[in-house]
Structures are given as C-alpha cells and as structure tokens.
Amino acid sequence: MTKKNKLPNHIAIIMDGNGRWARRRGFMRVRGHEEGVNSVREITTECAEKHIGQLTLYAFSNENWKRSKTEVNFLMRMLKKFLIAERKTIRDNDIILRTIGRTEALPDNVKKELSISMEESKNNKGMILCLALNYGGRTEIIDATKKLAADVKKGKLKLKDIDDDVFKEYMYTAGMTDPDLLIRTGGEKRISNFLLWEVSYAELWFTSVYWPEFKKKHLEEALSDYAKRERRFGGLIE
C-alpha cells in the first residue's frame, strides 16, 4: 500500500477502452459503458477512502457528440441513471460533486439530476469528484480567453496584470488544484484534449487495461509508480 505522504492530491483519469472491452467479448459497445460504471464506483470509493483531494473523470468529451445518435442517447440515459444511483456513494463517502465543461448543452433531464446531486453534496467535507462533461481542453482555453478578453474590454482587467494565476481564474477549473497524476486506461498514450492547461506538470501513467477491468489493484500500481517519481516542476534536484 502506498504511503499517504506519497499520494497525489489530485488524480485525473481518461477512462478509455469501454467499447473495445465489449467488442472483444462479442457484446454491443453500450455493454462496455455499463461495466465501466462499476469501475467508476470502485475507483471513486477507493480514492475517497485514501483521502485523495480530488478525482477528475473524463466522462463525456465535446467530440463524443460525433458518435452514433443511438450511443449518445444511451450515454445520456446512463449518465442520468448514474447521478441518481450514486447519490448514496456520494453521501456515504462525504464526496463533493462538481463538473467542468459546457454542461448547458446536456439534456434537460440530465442537468436536473446533476443540479440535485451537486446541491446535495455541496456542504460535504471529503474528496471532490469532478465530472468532465461536454468537455474539451481547447474549448476550455477558448472560453477562458473570451471571458478574459471581455473583462479587459470592460476595463475590469489590465493586460499587464495577466499571468498564469489570473488566467486560471477564468478556466472551468478555477479554484481547483492541478492534477498531480493523470491515468489513461485502454492502451493509448495521448492526452486527447483533456485538461491541456492543467496537466502541464502532471505525472502521466498509461496502462493497457481497459476501463471496465480497471480495479483497486491497478490504481495501487499507478500510485506506487507515482510515489517513486521525483517531481521537479522544471527545476533541478540537487
């Protein structure tokens, strides 16, 4: 078991491989998404028990709308069901639910359940569970730039005062810490437009294990590897 002082404060996960997991077993793609929910529950609970500060999950990208209408509709129904079913998990683990992304574009019934879950958990004291929904890293930077430019135009902000910290305040993730560890399942080794600004100094950990198969033991592997790394943030270790 990884020592607490070696644990990352913020873990971000690209949950990849649901469709391939299903196809290899002769199932429809949607079966992989259903099984993936079990991994979400297990990993969320495990992170909360380890007192991880924040867990951010890449749940639905803004590119995912390009998938078939049938699959997108299924994912939205599954998201609604997840939000209702996992309220107990959130309560039992004192989790605070938050979101990032253009959530206004989600179906009304999903937004309703999302609002209820966030309102119910807002005064909890445990781990932050952040769902990236209709999210894209480039879109986040563009949206932040537009808001920042509008404030400059209104005279609320001067160009000379803009730095990393100021820009961060305009991001979806304002007020959140940057990820310390980024995990991607499913065998691909790319970031896929996820938290482009925020993962600048994150440690990256890739595994060929598909998301529906990703369990506590795999999380422990990632954490053990993270604990061995020296984080320099651009500096030198003497």
Please identify every residue annotated as catalytic: 16, 64
Classify burial at 132, counting beta carbons within 10 Å of its beta carbon; exposed 0-12, middle 13-18, buried 19 or more.
buried
Query: Residue 69 CA to chain centroid, in angstroms?
Result: 24
Q: Tell me how far apart the alpha carbons of residues 50 and 10 are, in angstroms, rounded to a whole number.
A: 12
Among 207, 163, 155, 199, which Cα is nearest to 181's? Answer: 199
Among 8, 22, 52, which Cα is nearest to 186's? Answer: 22
Burial 147-163 (b: 16+ CB within 10 A, else e): ebeebeeeeebeeeeee
Query: Residue 10 CA to chain centroid, in angstroms?
Result: 10
* Contact criterion met (CB below 8 Å) for 207 and 184: yes
Among 58, 59, 84, 83, which Cα is nearest to 72's? Answer: 59
Q: Which strand ranges, in their side-by-side order, compose the sheet holding 203-206?
A: 96-100, 128-135, 54-61, 10-14, 181-184, 203-206
Q: Tell me how far apart the alpha carbons of residues 233 and 216 are, in angstroms, rounded to a whole number.
A: 28
Q: Tell me how far apart the alpha carbons of residues 10 and 19 are, in angstroms, rounded to a whole number.
A: 27
